[in-house]
C-alpha cells in the first residue's frame, strides 16, 4: 500500500470518528436544550428548581465541550497530519549532543556514565515530550481557567482561589515533567489510562530496541508492572500532595462502616476522609488496596456539614453558594410549593450516616463480585493485543513514511501512530463494550446493596448525589449507550424499587409459610 493511501485513509478515519462523536454530543445537547421543563418521570426525584439548575449546568458544559473538542481536533490535525510532527522530532534531534544535555559540559563524567545506558532516540524522545508538555500547559491553561472559574464557579462547584489553582497547576506540571509521557486520548485508554513517565519512556524505548522479535511481550510485562506499582503508590504518596486526607474519627458512622465491612468480609484496615471540598463541591467515594490491606476514602462533600467542621475545623468549612451567586432560575413560588410536595426537596448538601453506608454497600458489591479484577483482566488482555498489533506495525516503513518519517522508526512516534490512528476504530468499539459491561456491573452492585437491606436508602443516596452534582438524568439513548459507564439515576432507582418489592413479597411469603 502506498504511503499516501495510508495517510488519507487514517486521516479520513480520524475525522469520521470525530464527526461521529460530535454527532452524538449534538444529539445529547438537543435533548438537554429541548427538555426545558422537568419530565413527569422525574417528579419524585428532583424539584423543578434543582432540575432547572442541573439543566443549565449541563448546557454550559455541553457548549464548552463543543469548543474544546473542535480546538483539540484542529490541533491534532495540524500536528499529526499537517507535517509538524516530523519537523518537531527532527528539531529535537539536534539537541541530543553532550554539550546541550549537560548544560555546557559541566557534567561530562555523569554524561559519559549515562551514555552507556542511553541512546540518541531516548534523549530525543525526552526532549520531544518536554517540549509538548510545555506547549500543552500553555495552550490548555485558558481552557482550564474558564472551566474552573467560569463554569464551575457559576454553578457553585468551584471552591478554589486563583492562588490555589496556580499552586495545584504547578504541582501537576512538576509531576508531569517527572512522570509525564505524551500519549493522546485513545492511546491512554489502551495502556489503562496510565500516564507513562519519562523514566518509563526510556525503559520502553530500550525494551523495544533490546527485545527483538518478541519485544511486545516484554513491553506488556513492563507496563503491567508499572500499572500495579502506580495503583499502589498513587493513593498513598501522590494523591496526598493535592488534597488533605484525615482518618475518619470514632463515631456512629465509623462503627456502621466497620460493621458493614465485617458483615461482607471486607478486610478494611484504614478509613479516610479527603478534603475534596477545597477543590470542588462534587461528591465521591472509593476504595483501594490489594489483598488484605484495603482502605476506603470518603469525600467530605458526602458528609453532613457538622462532620466536616469536626474533621477540618470551622475555618475549613466552605459556604454553600447563595442563590444570588447561582444562575437565575425561572420557577414560580406556586410551582415550587407544589413541587416540594412531590419530590425530595434538598436544601443542603451531604448525606446521613445510613446513606453513606448504603453507597459503600454498593462499592463493596463491586469488590465482592470481583468487578475490579474483571476490569483489570480485560484491560490487560486489551493491552497485550494492542502491543501485539504495535509490534506487527512498528517496523512498517510505509506507515512511517506516510507521516514524514523516512528511514526511521521512533518508538514514541510509533505509539502515537498505532494507538491513536491505526487502532482508532478498535478503540471506539472496545470503549462501547466496556461501557456496556460497566453498566451491567453497576446494576449488580446496586442489587448487592439492596440485598443488604439498603434499597430505599441507596435510592435516596443516588438522588442526593445527582442533585448535589447537578446531574441531569435526561439523555439521548444513543449517546448514553456509547459513553455512559453508569445507568441513568431514574433507571437505577426504578430497579431498586423493584428489588425492594421483591424482598417484601419474599418476606411475606415466608411469614405465611411459617404460620
Question: Does 32 reside within a domain?
Answer: yes
Q: At 115, is the pLDDT very low, low, confident or very high (cuts 50, 70, 90)?
A: very low
Let me know whether 117 and 225 are in one domain.
yes
The pTM for the full model equals: 0.78
The answer on 267 and 211 residing in a single domain is: no
Grid cell, residue 94, equals: 539536534
Q: Which pLDDT score is estimated for 160?
A: 56
In this predicted structure, which of 209-213, 259-263, 480-484 has the lowest mean pLDDT? 209-213
- Among the listed residues 75, 70, 71, the one whose alpha carbon sits nearest the alpha carbon of residue 21: 70
Boundaries of domain holding 344: 245-321+333-351
Q: Looking at the domain assignment, is residue 179 inside a domain? A: yes
178 shares a domain with 253: no
Is residue 175 domain-shared with residue 78, that is, in the same domain? yes
User: Which cell numbers in the block locate residue 288?
Assistant: 483501594
Extract the runs of DSSP E, i.e. beta strands, from 261-397: 268-274, 285-288, 294-299
Are 294 and 412 contained in the same domain? no
How much of the chain exceeds pLDDT 70, in percent? 74
How would you class 483 by CB atoms within 10 Å of its CB: exposed for 0-12, middle for 13-18, buried for 19 or more? middle
Contact yes or no for 121/93 (Cβ under 8 A):
no
Residue 363 covered by a domain: no
Examine the domain organization and report whether 236 and 262 are in the same domain.
no
Whether 358 is covered by a domain: the verdict is no
User: Is residue 359 one of the residues assigned to a domain?
Assistant: no
The reply to whether 99 belongs to the active site is no
Q: Which residues contact 198 (CB under 8 A, 6 or more apart)?
A: 126, 129, 130, 177, 178, 179, 180, 181
Annotation says 252 is catalytic? no
* Segment 221-232 mean pLDDT: 88
Considering the domain boundaries, does residue 515 fall inside one?
Answer: no
Residues 154 and 255 in one domain: no
Q: Is 65 exposed, middle or buried (0-12, 13-18, 19+ CB in 10 A)?
A: middle
Per-residue pLDDT, averaged over 23-50, amounts to 90
Taking the C-alpha atoms of residue 484 and residue 434, their distance in angstroms, rounded to an integer, is 10
378 and 422 share a domain? yes
DSSP SS3 for 415? helix
Q: Which of 62, 339, 355, 363 is catalytic?
A: 363
Same domain (yes/no): 286, 300: yes
Structural domain count, the chain: 2
Helix (H, G, I), strand (E, B) or coil at 322: coil
My answer on whether 52 and 200 are in the same domain is yes
Would you say residue 310 lies in a domain?
yes
CATH number at residue 285: 3.30.2010.10
pLDDT higher than 90, residue 121: no
Determine which one of 62, 446, 468, 475 is catalytic. Answer: 446
Is 172 inside any structural domain?
yes
Which tens digit of pLDDT belongs to each residue from 64-82? Answer: 999 999 999 999 999 999 9
Looking at the fold, whether 50 and 182 belong to one and the same domain comes out as yes
Contact (Cβ atoms closer than 8 angstroms) between residue 422 and residue 396: no
Whether residues 109 and 7 share a domain: the answer is yes
- 433-451 pLDDT per residue, tens: 999 999 999 999 999 999 9
Amino acid at each position: 500500500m502506498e504511503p499516501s493511501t495510508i495517510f488519507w485513509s487514517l486521516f479520513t478515519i480520524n475525522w469520521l470518528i470525530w464527526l461521529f462523536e460530535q454527532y452524538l454530543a449534538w444529539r445529547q445537547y438537543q435533548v438537554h436544550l429541548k427538555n426545558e421543563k422537568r419530565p413527569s418521570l422525574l417528579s419524585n426525584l428532583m424539584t423543578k428548581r434543582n432540575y432547572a439548575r442541573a439543566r443549565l449546568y449541563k448546557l454550559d458544559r455541553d457548549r464548552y465541550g463543543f469548543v474544546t473538542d473542535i480546538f483539540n481536533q484542529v490541533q491534532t490535525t495540524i500536528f499529526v497530519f499537517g507535517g509538524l510532527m516530523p519537523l518537531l522530532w527532527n528539531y529535537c534531534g539536534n539537541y541530543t549532543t553532550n554539550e546541550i544535555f549537560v548544560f555546557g559540559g559541566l557534567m561530562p563524567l555523569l554524561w559519559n556514565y549515562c551514555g552507556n545506558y542511553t541512546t540518541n532516540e531516548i534523549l530525543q524522545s525526552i526532549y520531544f515530550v518536554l517540549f509538548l508538555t510545555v506547549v500543552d500547559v500553555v495552550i490548555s491553561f485558558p481552557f482550564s481557567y474558564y472551566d474552573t472559574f467560569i463554569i464551575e464557579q457559576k454553578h457553585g462547584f468551584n471552591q478554589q482561589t486563583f492562588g490555589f489553582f496556580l499552586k495545584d497547576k504547578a504541582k501537576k506540571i512538576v509531576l508531569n515533567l517527572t512522570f509525564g509521557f505524551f500519549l493522546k486520548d485513545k492511546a491512554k485508554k489502551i495502556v489503562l489510562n496510565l500516564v507513562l513517565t519519562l523514566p518509563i519512556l526510556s525503559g520502553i524505548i530500550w525494551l523495544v530496541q533490546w527485545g527483538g522479535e518478541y519485544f511486545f511481550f516484554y513491553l506488556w510485562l513492563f507496563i503491567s508492572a508499572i500499572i500495579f506499582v502506580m495503583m499502589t503508590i498513587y493513593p498513598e504518596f501522590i494523591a496526598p500532595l493535592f488534597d488533605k486526607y484525615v482518618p475518619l474519627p470514632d463515631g456512629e458512622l465509623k462503627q456502621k462502616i466497620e460493621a458493614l465491612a465485617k458483615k461482607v468480609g471486607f478486610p478494611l484496615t484504614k478509613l479516610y476522609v479527603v478534603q475534596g471540598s477545597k477543590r470542588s463541591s462534587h461528591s465521591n467515594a472509593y476504595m483501594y488496596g490489594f489483598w488484605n490491606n484495603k482502605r476506603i476514602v470518603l469525600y467530605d462533600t458526602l458528609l453532613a456539614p457538622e462532620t466536616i467542621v469536626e474533621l477540618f475545623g470551622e475555618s475549613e468549612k466552605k459556604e454553600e453558594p447563595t442563590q444570588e451567586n447561582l444562575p437565575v432560575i425561572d420557577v414560580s413560588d406556586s410551582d415550587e410549593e407544589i413541587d416540594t410536595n412531590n419530590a425530595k426537596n434538598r436544601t443542603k448538601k451531604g448525606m446521613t450516616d445510613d446513606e453513606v453506608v448504603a453507597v459503600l454497600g454498593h462499592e463493596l458489591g463491586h469488590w465482592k463480585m470481583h468487578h475490579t479484577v474483571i476490569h483489570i483482566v480485560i484491560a490487560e488482555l486489551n493491552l497485550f493485543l494492542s502491543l501485539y498489533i504495535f509490534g506487527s506495525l512498528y517496523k512498517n516503513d510505509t506507515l512511517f513514511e506516510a507521516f514524514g518519517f523516512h528511514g526511521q522508526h521512533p518508538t514514541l512516534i510509533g505509539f502515537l501512530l498505532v494507538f491513536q490512528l491505526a487502532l482508532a476504530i478498535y478503540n471506539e468499539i472496545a470503549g462501547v463494550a466496556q461501557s456496556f459491561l460497566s453498566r451491567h456491573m453497576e446494576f449488580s452492585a446496586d442489587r448487592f446493596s439492596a440485598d443488604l437491606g439498603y434499597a430505599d436508602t441507596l435510592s435516596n443516596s443516588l438522588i442526593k448525589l445527582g442533585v448535589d452534582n447537578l446531574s441531569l438524568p435526561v439523555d439521548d439513548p444513543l449517546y448514553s449507550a456509547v459513553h455512559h459507564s453508569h445507568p441513568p439515576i431514574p433507571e437505577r432507582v426504578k430497579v431498586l424499587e423493584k428489588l425492594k418489592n421483591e424482598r417484601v413479597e419474599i418476606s411475606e411469603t415466608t411469614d405465611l409459610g411459617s404460620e
